[in-house]
């Protein structure tokens, strides 16, 4: 019985690592859009809460897609689950920066981003939050209206992941959300799970960075 339990644990662990590894190694050649205005400051994507179900390549192909367009994009890895430790790490990271940055997070980190925005730190050129649209229709003008909290929004149309790797990864992400309950869940569409660079479904991220670049020029 003990041998069976150990074998099952090893099998499940290898399966979880394989799923994460498949996402890490998968790369799709994106359709590049020419003459994009580049940001003056680097863009940092913050990783959300993770677990053994979902821990590699948190933002999937989004950073790669934006780097291919010439942007200085980096991923800042935070602690997996400890909220107190994550807050300390994030604040410490920002205070140690040598210059301003643009910070981007998914909607599961909205509370952390709101707290950060209230500090009005000089090293934060902007804070952006990715939000998925849960209604099967185009975003209305009212939905796109900016919220008065110092945080910008990147709106993504919610779309169920397609293809074997995306579907299995989506199940792993749902398990990750359960493992991190009662924290807010991570939405697959917001972190690029199932988004296809070749079909330009990642374009909202690119449009947002162009908008940030235009604001950088005004500074």
DSSP for the chain reads -HHHHHHHHHHHHHHHHHHHHHHHH------PPSSPPPPSS-EEEEP---BTTB-SSTTTTHHHHHHHTT--EEEE---SS-HHHHHHHHHHHHHT-SS-EEEEEEGGGHHHHHHHHTT--TTEEEEEEEEEE-SSSPPPHHHHSPPSSS-EEEEEE-----SHHHHHHHHHHHHHHHHTTTSPPPPGGGGTTT--GGGTTTHHHHHHHHHHHHHHHH-
Which pLDDT score, from 0 to 100, does residue 10 have? 45
Angle at 67 (CA atoms; ends 66, 71), nearest 5 degrees: 85
Which pLDDT score, from 0 to 100, does residue 162 have? 67
Distance separating alpha carbons of residues 56 and 13, to the nearest angstrom: 14
For the domain that residue 99 is a member of, what is the CATH number? 3.40.50
Q: Which residue has the tokens 């998925």?
A: 132
Q: Could you tell me the two tokens for 127?
A: 């804070």
Output the pTM of the full model.
Answer: 0.84
Ranges in the chain, pLDDT < 50? 3-11, 135-146
Total tally of structural domains belonging to the chain: 1
- Packed helices 83-95 and 110-117: angle between N→C axes, nearest 10 degrees: 40
Angle at 202 (CA atoms; ends 105, 190), nearest 5 degrees: 35
Q: Which residue has the tokens 């800042």?
A: 76
Which pLDDT score, from 0 to 100, does residue 24 have? 57
pLDDT digits (tens, 9 = 90+) for 154-192: 998 776 666 777 788 888 899 999 999 999 999 998 998
Which pLDDT score, from 0 to 100, does residue 134 have? 54
Q: Could you tell me the two tokens for 41?
A: 């400051």
Distance separating alpha carbons of residues 59 and 46, to the nearest angstrom: 9
Indicate left, alpha or beta for 94 from its phi (over 0: left) and psi (-120 to 50: alpha). alpha
Distance separating alpha carbons of residues 53 and 17, to the nearest angstrom: 8
Question: By residue range, what is the domain housing residue 205?
Answer: 2-218
């Amino acid at each position: 019985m003990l041998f069976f339990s150990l074998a099952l644990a090893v099998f499940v662990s290898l399966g979880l690592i394989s799923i994460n590894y498949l996402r890490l190694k998968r790369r799709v050649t994106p359709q590049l859009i020419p003459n994009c205005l580049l940001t003056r400051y680097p863009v940092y994507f913050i990783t959300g809460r993770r677990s053994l179900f979902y821990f590699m390549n948190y933002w999937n192909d989004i950073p790669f897609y934006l780097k291919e367009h010439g942007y200085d994009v980096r991923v800042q890895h935070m602690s997996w689950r400890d909220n107190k430790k994550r807050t300390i790490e994030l604040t410490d990271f920002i205070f140690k920066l040598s210059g301003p940055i643009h910070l981007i997070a998914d909607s599961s980190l909205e509370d952390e981003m709101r707290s950060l925005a209230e500090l009005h730190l000089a090293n934060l050129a902007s804070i952006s939050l990715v939000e998925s649209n849960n209604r099967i229709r185009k975003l209305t003008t009212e939905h796109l209206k900016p919220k008065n909290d110092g945080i910008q929004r990147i709106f993504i149309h919610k779309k169920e992941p397609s293809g074997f790797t995306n579907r299995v990864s989506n199940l792993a992400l749902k398990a990750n959300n359960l493992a991190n309950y009662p924290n807010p869940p991570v939405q697959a569409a917001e972190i690029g799970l199932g988004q296809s660079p070749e079909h330009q479904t990642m374009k909202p991220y690119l449009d947002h960075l162009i908008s940030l670049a235009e604001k950088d020029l005004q500074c």
